Amino acid sequence: MKLRRALLYTPGDSRPKIEKALSLGADSICMDMEDGTAYNRKEKARKTISLALKEFNFGASEKLIRINGIGSGLEEDDLTETVIHHPDGVVLPKVESFEQLEWLSERIEEMELSQGWDLNKIRVLAVIESAKGFINLREIATHPRLDALIFGAEDYAASIGATRTRGGLEILYARSKLVMHAAVNDLQAIDVVFVNFKDSVNLKIDALLGAQMGFTGKQIVHPNQVLPVQEAFSPSNAEIDYAQRLLSAFKIAEAEGAGAIDFEGKMIDMPLVKSARLVIERATLAGKIE
């Protein structure tokens, strides 16, 4: 599965911003037709995105499009006008049921069949951002075309009548619940946007918190957010080194029949070994080790 540490939204109606996004090294570029595009610019966004998919070289960045939510009346045209240019994936906002993903997946499949494309290559990422979406997350998260769950914190807070605070306690339950459902279905979990895009200090704190909570990446809205977020979601050199030392010590102990060992003064057993393996897997995906 494609690594998505930094998922950058770029307004779909802005050709200069899409062009700029290509030079930033973001893991994923999501050209937005939903809330990043004004209501009277939706048609313009579809055309701009179509041209971008046709003409631009995205290099190593993944090409995503975000359509408007199901029931908005815009979703069908958003999809048919842009998916014909074969993005790598579709981000569906305001997902509240399994059936909504099924609707999207069927339409993508029709396109795959009529165009002779490989089946299931165009992946879907679902934004969960309402109380109802969280209540139905158990079914939603099992959809076979899904690669990732994305947490939309601002819409979620509005849906439950919460006030956003710097500490974020009001979103903690949902934020954590999303990680749990992603983990059980082998999906990526993509964390909240940090909207104060000029505040790099608190962006780093928020990104690290997300990584510690188990998220695999984060949504971003500004070029300055790419590098700090990629760094937060890649294991540090010290973490990689520690994981490698731990795994070799455990391998030796295991061969000698020990299940738990004293490793540098700390008790190590299987759960910590699993975490260390995950660090190595993520470091490999991030290109930090071979």
**Where does this chain bind ligand COA (CB under 6 A)?**
8-11, 17, 20-21, 32, 35-36, 193, 197, 221-223
- Residues forming a β-bridge with 149: 126, 189
Instruction: Tell me which of ligand COA, Mg ion, none is bound by residue 17, counting a contact when its beta carbon lies within the kind-specific cut-off of 5 to 8 angstroms.
Output: ligand COA
CA dihedral 100, 103, 106, 110 (to 10 degrees): -140
269 is catalytic: yes
Q: Which among 157, 149, 154, 214 is positioned nearest to 182, based on CA atoms?
A: 149
Residue 164 CA: distances (Å) to CA of 3, 131, 158, 172 = 29, 15, 9, 11
Within 212-251, the residues that bind Mg ion by CB under 5 A are none
Instruction: Tell me which of ligand COA, Mg ion, none is bound by residue 221, counting a contact when its beta carbon lies within the kind-specific cut-off of 5 to 8 angstroms.
Output: ligand COA
- Residues forming a β-bridge with 289: none
AA letter at 263? F
| Active-site annotation holder among 35, 147, 155, 269 | 269
Please state, in angstroms and rounded to a whole number, the distance separating the CA atoms of residues 211 and 95: 23
Whole-number minimum distance, CB 219 to ligand COA, in Å? 7
Instruction: Tell me which of ligand COA, Mg ion, none is bound by residue 36, counting a contact when its beta carbon lies within the kind-specific cut-off of 5 to 8 angstroms.
Output: ligand COA
Q: Which is nearer to ligand COA, 16 or 161 (CB)?
A: 16
Q: Which is nearer to Mg ion, 29 or 279 (CB)?
A: 29
Instruction: Tell me which of ligand COA, Mg ion, none is bound by residue 11, counting a contact when its beta carbon lies within the kind-specific cut-off of 5 to 8 angstroms.
Output: ligand COA
Phi-psi region of 120 (alpha: psi -120 to 50; beta: other; left: phi over 0): left
Q: Which is nearer to ligand COA, 10 or 136 (CB)?
A: 10
Within 142-181, the residues that bind Mg ion by CB under 5 A are 152, 155
Catalytic residues: 269
